[in-house]
Amino acid sequence: MSFPTDRPRRLRRTPALRRLVAETSVEPRHLIQPLFVREGLSEPVPIGSMPGVVQHSADTLRAAAVAAVEAGVGGLMLFGVPSLRDAEGSAAYDPAGILNTAISDVVAEVGDATVVMADLCLDEFTNHGHCGLLAADGSVDNDASLRAYAQMAVAQAEAGVHVVGLSGMMDGQVATVRVVLDDTGRGDVAVLAYAAKYASAFYGPFRDAVESRLVGDRRSYQQDPANGVEALREVRLDVEEGADLVLVKPALGYLDVLASVVAAVDLPVGAYQVSGEYAMVELAARAGAIQRERAILETLTSVRRAGATFVLTYWATEAAGLLTGR
């Protein structure tokens, strides 16, 4: 039997050949470490559904930020868990609120040595757990939510954040935040738009991490997993509204969306490897079903191969260490 003499296996024979021809790399700078800080803690508290991830105290948050910087990660994404929640999510825009104080603590600690980002969304701060404010009929009121986001953006900018992460999926959120930042003399704060964010079951463990009060779901604002073209519309609007960076979320189940977004825009595109993706690998590895470190690096490589410039991943600091052999 004869076949073409082009033999792809020739280039796979040795580790050096494979290294030479690798099309994709993952470097520490590509990784963004999400970190949770909870008000009033003196010790970190483990998150049951995310083995290895904790809610930090103010002190351990600073230490985790330093460790991430030393590992060479590209950035940090901060999430705050307040003690008190109300219908307006007012702790989100109180300058003394947990997320705003965490931003200033972390910026004081690491300065410009990494990129400090914060989640700009109300779900951790509202007593109903939605990403926006509710109208009298219980629906999520888009434009009232935008007014709250604007206040949140001012508070986060005041605290020194480098990038605000708009994850609420309200229409017009990017323009609203861009305008208020510019009008308050914070034109240098960049906007990361969670442009294509799907209503996903894979956010399950995150809801534990932030002790979410949500009853029901977010399908009236997050996207239907069935839709790919709609992601391009969301992205186009966010780019027109002034986004600096755009994000696709979750990552692994949406690599097709990621690749089409990368092809459609001239901005850096990121992907968020979410809590459920993390938990699947951790729990499967604990069950002895897969090799943990190989699986971690394979998932990150896949997200990069699909075109992501940066990846939010709960493994960021650890993976940076694996990649550099430290």
260 vs 238: CA distance, rounded Å: 15
Q: In angstroms, what is the minimal distance from the CB of 86 to ligand PBG?
A: 17
Q: Which token pair is 309?
A: 């410039």
Binding mask 139-178 for ligand PBG (x = CB under 6 A): ----------------------------x-----------
Based on the shown chain and the rule CB under 6 A, indicate whether residue 282 belongs to the binding site for ligand PBG. Answer: no
Based on the shown chain and the rule CB under 6 A, indicate whether residue 123 belongs to the binding site for ligand PBG. Answer: yes
147 vs 154: CA distance, rounded Å: 11
Residue among 149, 206, 254, 315 that touches ligand PBG (CB under 6 A)? 206
Binding mask 214-243 for ligand PBG (x = CB under 6 A): ----x-------------------------
> How would you class 90 by CB atoms within 10 Å of its CB: exposed for 0-12, middle for 13-18, buried for 19 or more?
middle
Closest CB to ligand PBG among residues 183, 217: 217
Amino acid occupying residue 34: P
Based on the shown chain and the rule CB under 6 A, indicate whether residue 119 belongs to the binding site for ligand PBG. Answer: yes
258 vs 283: CA distance, rounded Å: 26
Based on the shown chain and the rule CB under 6 A, indicate whether residue 203 belongs to the binding site for ligand PBG. Answer: yes
Based on the shown chain and the rule CB under 6 A, indicate whether residue 92 belongs to the binding site for ligand PBG. Answer: no
* CB-CB contact of 240 with 219 (8 Å): no
Q: Is 249 a catalytic residue?
A: yes
- Of 30, 56, 178, 197, catalytic: 197
Query: What φ, ψ does residue 2 adopt, rounded to 5°?
Result: -105, 150
C-alpha distances (whole Å) from 28 to each of 75, 227, 267, 297, 298 are 10, 32, 20, 12, 15
- Per the listing, tokens 């460790």 go with 67
The piece of 25-33, 36-44, 103-111, 115-123 that touches ligand PBG (CB under 6 A) is 115-123
The piece of 5-13, 90-98, 117-125, 291-299 that touches ligand PBG (CB under 6 A) is 117-125
Q: Is 180 a catalytic residue?
A: no
Catalytic residue list:
197, 249
